[in-house]
């Protein structure tokens, strides 16, 4: 295909000029790109390309408007490096400090410093105290290394996914338009930009449509569209409108630009260098855990200080000799370690890696892993239709003139059989509008391929029409794509936008001998319901023009409805002969003239375009709806087309569909709501369907929105503009505590994608949509959405299980050991070493197994989590920690301590409230014997807590399901890491109790066999009690026990 070039677009006596005067001689590259000044701010200030004329720009960069750069010039300039902005440097010392002192590590540092002080100078040096200090330091080192490793791994996985995004750009090289990798752009390239494209390098605009608009929000922070221009509007390079800067977007119109800076030499590249390092942001779950960490840390410090205060004020004076300052501090350290669920931050870090790996497998780019957590709360999904629910592979299926209609595959057959082919002369005009009023272009590199296999840059609708016009060949009527391109040149264009819903092109005939009326044509294509009002006549199949009467309008409207109800997108193709227009008018003045000419059009015909739904959409929507998420369609397409597709994919399931009339009637009867958070459908409400148009949306009141959001589960919004899409999202977000996700792929979806809690873009979509979205489905796989929802719910569910598992032993069983020592005058039943060791080894290896739990059977059948009210830790969770699991665990461990003492004839009152009486001669025992009793008793308590947690671990794996249906050894909920964790915790206990070094330093001792066996019965008891609770919840879902369930 021979491209229409600007040189062909120069004025030929009359017509509308968009080709700008350029050098007629190719200027060879004679200068290298100047070295950038060392100071980025000075480099930005030194930019002057915007002050040059268009001719001077081409001269400076040795380029040409129609030829672009030659291959030899490209090869030379490639030596300057790739067009890639280097990421901001990572400040590793800050990250290292965060690893070392972040999370609960700062409590470990406090404990370490105090332990060192207890070793010396506060007390006589003891191996036990030094051992505890070394252990604490080891804990800090290992946890810091783990955080660093997990963070590095998650970042590595996400970088590998980001590398899959192919940023491409259309450039003119050697006189041909080509699509290349954006990283291969060089200075001097002529880049062609269309609506939705990301600007790949800093460019000077040298040619533009009158409606050119940029989104510079990434650069300036301002969301308003910035008009483009050909001449400088400011001396400041950052404010002038004739520069297109890297990482900004074309949101409307088209333009060509000459690249003057690439990579780190661009304005964005220099700003990145000036900005320093990237800022660290916490994910939603990390914020919750950090909040929980602060609460726990404050409690730990409070009880630690209280313990020391009680020693200093009470125990030291009333019971001298009960504790030394050194032992009091070491024992009080148990308060710090007892409250620290060390496994929680580790599991949060692991969750990020689990998410990243799972998403990477599906080729889903998650810009911020917090998005997945938010997806678990999603209650409403607003989806665009074209390219999102549908495949975006449009094909022209039907053609209709005023008096006849054709299926595309029968056109040639019918014309061949006709005795007089001129009876179908209208095809020539139809072919002219379809081929010339078109914003899509073939990639020159694929022109040798069959039409269906060629690469096209453009939106799906234009792509379908371009393929149709290229393939349509009727020699008898002179219909030929090559002849068409050579016969006309494009003079002016108003690209399609979501507000007008039409595209306009002005073309003039080439080789016209004289200036006369009819040499220039205004070609328009767009929505029939919009363009019908501008048409006064219509073309019949034989090419004759007849007036467009009310009856013929109704006939065409009926045909549009028929095609639309079959799921086809219907376009009207129109044309009009225009008078001579003065040469040299500014583009905006020409645009005003064209708007004034938008009347008296001749309707050439209607085109029906089929865009089938993606095969994975219907089952995915069924899964999403079962998860309690309402799915709405928000599209700019015709109402009947939208409803047809919505029925095909399962968004609309009801036969009766309400309209604005039913909404207004319900709003007039509805009582005003007390709070917008209460506006949501009830479980008992019937499923109602609704369709609204953009015109309806503009007129809705707050009461109407309350009815829409509160009563309807199935909604289609049709013929909506970008602003209306954004308003729909904001109105839904404001009601019912909804978390709203939006899926889309076009420029018109970008405002809604930004306004949503979660924006999801298709990988094949526009650059603007992909920038606005938080998630990009690189394989256009809609089925990844329910997977991501499940992942978000699963991560939150598993972290809740981890918290519930860690708390009973840590902040309860261990803390009770310190409490009984300080307040009840008993020898401490669990040493600070055992507490630290348990928290960072036994508890951690068992809690990690919970992060790899598979989804429970009802996870995707539960209601979405309310992000505002459903927290990671709530009163139900603490009820189970302190009044259920914990209330069974610590009394069992304490009972084992007293049982062992009783076996040595030390009764309850001989052990409790003894304070400083526990000394040589107490109850006839020597000090060494009493110490041995305590050493063994401490190990018994430690082993009982460790093994007793088996019951808690197996209990919290399921919220409602019995372990008989979800055991960890086989079946759908198989998780062998549970068995690994259980085995590991026993091995740690054995090493601690029987290791000679541990016995000498930490005073651990072997324990009698019965004290190994009894804890297993306690674990079984905890599990059976929880199984009973779950059975009651399942049988009586509205009972008090079910209400208490976590």
> Would you call 384 a catalytic residue per the annotation?
yes
Percentage of the chain exceeding pLDDT 70: 92
At residue 764, φ and ψ (nearest 5 deg) are -85, 0
Active-site hit among 384, 637, 843, 910: 384
Which pLDDT score is estimated for 1030?
94
Which pLDDT score is estimated for 20?
33
Kind and range of the H or E run holding 502: strand 502-509
C-beta separation of 860 from 376 below 8 A: no
C-beta separation of 943 from 914 below 8 A: no
Q: How many CB atoms lie within 10 A of CB 800?
A: 20
Which pLDDT score is estimated for 171?
93
Q: How far is 307 from 298, CA to CA, in rounded Å? A: 14
Could you say which residues of the chain have pLDDT below 70?
Answer: 1-40, 88, 154, 157-158, 160-166, 220-223, 274-286, 370, 511-518, 580-584
How far, in whole angstroms, is CA 721 from its chain's centroid? 23
Question: Which DSSP state fits 842?
Answer: I
C-beta separation of 759 from 742 below 8 A: yes
Which pLDDT score is estimated for 641?
92
For residue 760, what are the CA distances in angstroms to 150, 257, 691, 773?
Answer: 26, 30, 23, 5
The DSSP-derived string for 851-873 is: HTPPPPTTGGGSPPP-TTT--SS
pTM of the model: 0.80
Helix (H), strand (E), coil (C) string for 399-449: EECCCCEEEHHHHHHHHHHCCCHHHHCHHHHHHHHHHHCCCCEECHHHCCC
Question: Which DSSP state fits 69?
Answer: B
**Residues facing 716 on adjacent strands:** 633, 691
Which pLDDT score is estimated for 32?
41
Which pLDDT score is estimated for 36?
44
Which pLDDT score is estimated for 708?
94
Q: How far is 909 from 451, CA to CA, in rounded Å? A: 95
Q: How far is 170 from 257, CA to CA, in rounded Å? A: 11
* Nearest CA among 897, 903, 935 for reference residue 820: 897
């Amino acid at each position: 295909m021979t491209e229409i070039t600007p040189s062909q677009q120069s004025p030929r006596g009359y017509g509308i000029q968009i080709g700008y005067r350029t050098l007629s001689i190719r200027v060879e590259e004679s200068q290298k790109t100047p070295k950038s000044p060392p100071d980025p701010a000075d480099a930005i200030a030194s930019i002057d390309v915007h002050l040059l004329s268009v001719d001077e720009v081409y001269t400076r960069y040795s380029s040409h408007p129609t030829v672009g750069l030659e291959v030899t010039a490209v090869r030379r300039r490639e030596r300057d490096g790739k067009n890639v902005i280097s990421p901001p440097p990572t400040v590793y010392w800050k990250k290292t400090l965060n690893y070392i002192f972040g999370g609960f590590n700062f409590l470990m540092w406090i404990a370490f410093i105090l332990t060192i002080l207890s070793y010396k100078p506060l007390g006589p040096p003891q191996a036990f105290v030094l051992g505890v200090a070394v252990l604490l330091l080891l804990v800090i080192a290992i946890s810091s290394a783990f955080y660093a490793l997990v963070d590095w791994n998650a970042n590595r996985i996400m970088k590998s996914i980001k590398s899959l995004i192919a940023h491409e750009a259309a450039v003119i090289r050697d006189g041909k338009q080509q699509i290349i990798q954006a990283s291969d752009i060089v200075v001097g390239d002529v880049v062609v930009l269309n609506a939705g494209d990301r600007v790949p390098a800093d460019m000077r605009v040298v040619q533009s449509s009158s409606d050119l608009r940029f989104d510079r929000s990434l650069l300036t922070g301002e969301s308003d569209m910035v008009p483009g221009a050909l001449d400088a509007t400011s001396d400041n390079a950052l404010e002038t409108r004739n520069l297109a800067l890297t990482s900004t977007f074309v949101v409307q119109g088209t333009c060509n630009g000459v690249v003057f800076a690439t990579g780190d030499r661009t304005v964005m590249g220099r700003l990145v260098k000036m900005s320093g390092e990237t800022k660290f942001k916490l994910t939603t779950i990390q914020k919750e855990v950090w909040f929980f960490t602060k609460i726990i840390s404050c409690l730990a410090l409070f009880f630690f200080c209280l313990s020391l205060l009680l020693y200093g004020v009470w125990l030291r004076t009333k019971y001298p000799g009960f504790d030394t300052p050194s032992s009091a501090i070491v024992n009080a350290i148990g308060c710090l370690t007892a409250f620290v669920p060390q496994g929680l931050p580790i599991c949060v870090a692991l969750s990020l890696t689990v998410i990243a790996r799972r998403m990477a497998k599906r080729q889903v780019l998650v810009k911020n892993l917090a998005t997945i957590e938010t997806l678990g709360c999603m209650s409403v999904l607003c989806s665009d239709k074209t390219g999102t629910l549908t495949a975006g592979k449009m094909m022209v299926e039907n053609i209709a003139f005023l008096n006849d209609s054709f299926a595309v595959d029968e056109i040639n057959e019918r014309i061949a059989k006709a005795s007089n082919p001129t009876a179908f002369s209208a095809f020539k005009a139809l072919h002219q509008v379809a081929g010339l009023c078109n914003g899509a272009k073939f990639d020159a590199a694929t022109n040798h391929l069959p039409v269906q296999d060629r690469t096209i840059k453009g939106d799906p609708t234009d792509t379908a029409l371009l393929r149709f016009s290229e393939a349509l060949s009727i020699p008898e009527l002179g219909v030929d794509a090559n002849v068409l391109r050579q016969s006309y040149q494009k003079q002016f264009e108003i690209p399609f936008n979501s507000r007008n819903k039409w595209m306009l092109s002005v073309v003039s005939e080439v080789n016209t001998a004289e200036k006369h009326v009819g040499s220039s044509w205004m070609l328009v294509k767009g929505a029939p319901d919009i363009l019908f009002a501008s048409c006064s006549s219509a073309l019949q199949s034989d090419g004759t023009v007849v007036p467009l009467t009310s009856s013929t309008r109704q006939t065409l409207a009926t045909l549009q409805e028929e095609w639309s109800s079959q799921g086809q997108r219907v376009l009207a193709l129109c044309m009009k002969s225009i008078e001579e227009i003065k040469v040299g008018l500014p583009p905006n003045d020409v645009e005003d003239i064209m708007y004034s000419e938008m009347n008296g059009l001749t309707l050439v015909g209607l085109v029906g375009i089929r865009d089938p739904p993606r095969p994975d959409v219907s089952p995915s929507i069924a899964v999403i709806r079962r998860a309690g998420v309402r799915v709405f369609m928000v599209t700019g397409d015709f109402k009947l087309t939208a409803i047809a597709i919505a029925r095909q994919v399962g968004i609309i399931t009801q036969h009766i569909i309400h309209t604005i009339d039913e909404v207004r009637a319900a709003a007039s009867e509805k009582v005003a709501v007390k709070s917008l958070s209460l506006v949501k459908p009830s479980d008992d409400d019937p499923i109602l369907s609704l369709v609204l148009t953009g015109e309806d949306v503009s007129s809705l009141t707050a009461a109407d929105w309350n009815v829409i959001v509160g009563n309807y589960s199935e909604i289609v919004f049709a013929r909506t503009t970008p602003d209306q899409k954004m308003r729909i999202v904001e109105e839904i977000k404001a009601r019912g505590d909804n978390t709203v996700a939006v899926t889309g792929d076009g420029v018109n979806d970008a405002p809604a994608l930004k306004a949503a809690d979660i924006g999801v873009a298709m990988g094949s979509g526009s650059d603007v949509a992909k920038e606005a979205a938080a998630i990009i489905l690189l394989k256009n796989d809609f089925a990844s959405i329910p997977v991501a929802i499940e992942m978000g719910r699963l991560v939150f569910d598993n972290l809740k299980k981890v918290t519930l598992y860690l708390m009973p032993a840590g902040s309860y069983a261990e803390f009770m050991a310190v409490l009984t020592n300080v307040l009840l005058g008993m020898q401490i039943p669990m040493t600070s070493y055992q507490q630290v060791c348990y928290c960072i080894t036994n508890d951690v290896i068992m809690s990690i197994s919970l992060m790899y739990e598979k989804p429970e059977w009802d996870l995707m059948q539960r209601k979405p989590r309310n992000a505002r009210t459903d927290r990671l830790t709530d009163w139900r969770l603490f009820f189970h920690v302190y009044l259920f699991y914990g209330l069974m665990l610590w009394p069992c461990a304490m009972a084992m301590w007293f049982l062992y003492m009783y076996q040595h004839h030390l009764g309850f009152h001989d052990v409790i409230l003894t304070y400083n009486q526990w000394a040589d001669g107490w109850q006839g025992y020597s000090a060494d014997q009493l110490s041995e009793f305590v050493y063994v008793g401490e190990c018994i308590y430690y082993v009982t807590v460790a093994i007793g947690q088996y019951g808690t671990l197996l209990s919290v794996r399921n919220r409602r399901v019995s372990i008989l249906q979800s055991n960890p050894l086989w079946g759908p909920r198989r998780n062998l890491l549970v068995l690994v964790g259980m085995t590991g915790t026993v091995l740690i206990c054995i090493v601690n109790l029987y290791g000679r070094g541990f016995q000498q330093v930490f005073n651990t001792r072997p324990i009698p066999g019965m004290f190994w066996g009894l804890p297993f019965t306690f674990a079984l008891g905890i599990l059976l009690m929880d199984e009973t609770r779950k059975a009651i919840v399942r049988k009586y879902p509205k009972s008090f026990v079910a209400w208490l369930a976590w």
